[in-house]
Amino acid sequence: MKMGGLGVMAGVVTACVGLTGLAQTAEAGFVPLFNGRDLTGWIGDTKGYVAEDGKLVCRPGGNLYTEKEYSNFVVRFEFKLTAGANNGLGIRTPPRGDAAYVGMEIQILDDTAEKYKELHDYQYHGSIYGIVPAKRGHLTPVGEWNYEEVTANGPLITIELNGATIVDADLSQIKQTADIHDLKKHPGLHNEQGHLGFLGHGSIVAFRNIRIKNLGGAQPAAPPGFTALFNGRDLASWKGLLARPNDNPLKRAALSPEALARAQAEADADMQAHWKAEDGILVFDGKGRSLCTARDYKNFEMLVDWKILPAGDSGIYLRGSPQVQIWDFTKHPEGSGGLYNNQKNSSKPSVCADNPIGAWNTFRIKMVGERVTVELNGRRVVDQVVLENYWDRRRPIFPSGQIELQNHGNNLYFRNIYIRELPGE
């Protein structure tokens, strides 16, 4: 909780907890988020939480997030509070920033503690912090296990505690916060997806039987005039980048058809090993080579969402040539979007327009002839700058070529990739 009941009948609670203790494979569609042995699959404050006798224990810790992101889901877990304990469940949140605002925080709190007796109603257990108060009176006594289920399906958020529905909200109908503030105070309220996390506040809290059922999420329709380069399900429309020196378009063009086919088969195997579609997101594990469109493009406008983690470094090659830059703006204050490899023409963005690391960013890239325009998060950072030919600076950029999602050996995330072809100058 940011700061921020009496238990139900013991027999009812025992029945609920007993059911959740069954093998998780018995729950159709659910998969475990915690293996009971270590913190595999989790990021963040991995030192503040420990695996202990099949439990995940905040001892005490800060924020611990799932590596994966989720859009629409049902998450089930059990938790046991200590006296005065304070934690939270972050949903659809980036791994940086205050999860109660950049995402949503579901309160996990000892409502009976004397120090919490004068909290606002939206600060007690189960509430969507600052947004929707939960019904009280359904926690078990401190030191006993509770069972909680959170369902997020589009704007519909439902929370059950020990068999009772304590929140049933439609976020699309909410016009102001519970503390009577403008919704701008909670920009994460309408996130389409993000990490799950336990949000520690210096208390000891134990969790077990943490599992999730992915409800999926429809791939957004392509904007008018655009077609999807990524279908959200698989790597159709993509191919792997050939190994050096054939990542160079001039070298590739010199290969015989037979040699090109062999090299492409090897590159596609590398692609399949390190790139995957996961919950509508194109995910790179940081270990393979770059990803390329299956066909070439000449003049086009491209839309793409991207996200990096701390120290992340990537870029988008246009016509097989580097690049519209993507990197960690905390290490490179000029920000992303510049034509990094230019030497004669401008190589830097006009303004840093990056969102916080771990949050999604959106590029709109337009290329006609030799000139490139880039908008990042709605701000123009490159305006009709000539893209130079990195591979042979004596000649202009190639008239057509593949589009590449570049990597520098770190985890990358892309989604909502669309393109429309444009006529020439």
DSSP assignments along 253-290, one per residue: HTS-HHHHHHHHHHHHHHHHHHEEEETTEEEE-SSS--
Contact 120, 111 (CB under 8 A): no
Closest among 125, 93, 127 to 109, alpha carbons compared:
125
Question: For residue 16, what pLDDT is reported?
Answer: 34
Instruction: Express each pLDDT in 224-257 by its tens digit.
Output: 889 999 988 899 999 999 999 999 999 999 999 9
Per-residue pLDDT band for 4 (boundaries 50, 70, 90) equals very low
Question: For residue 185, what pLDDT is reported?
Answer: 83
Please classify residue 138 by burial: count the beta carbons closer than 10 Å to its beta carbon, then call 0-12 exposed, 13-18 middle and 19+ buried: buried
The stretch 271-300 carries a mean pLDDT of: 95
Contact 162, 139 (CB under 8 A): yes
Cα–Cα dist 331/303, whole Å: 25
* Residue 164 tokens, joined: 């009772």
Closest among 150, 146, 164, 155 to 197, alpha carbons compared:
150
Question: For residue 276, what pLDDT is reported?
Answer: 95
* Mean pLDDT rounded to a whole number for the chain: 90
* Residue 374 tokens, joined: 């880039």
- The CA distances from residue 206 to 133, 278, 335, in Å, are 24, 29, 41
Contact 239, 294 (CB under 8 A): yes
Question: For residue 5, what pLDDT is reported?
Answer: 33
Instruction: Express each pLDDT in 356-377 by its tens digit.
Output: 898 889 999 999 999 999 999 9
**Which domains, from first to last, does the chain contain?**
10-214 (2.60.120.560), 227-421 (2.60.120.560)
Contact 215, 73 (CB under 8 A): yes
- Indicate the pTM of the whole model: 0.59
Contact 402, 271 (CB under 8 A): no
Closest among 55, 48, 46, 124 to 85, alpha carbons compared:
124
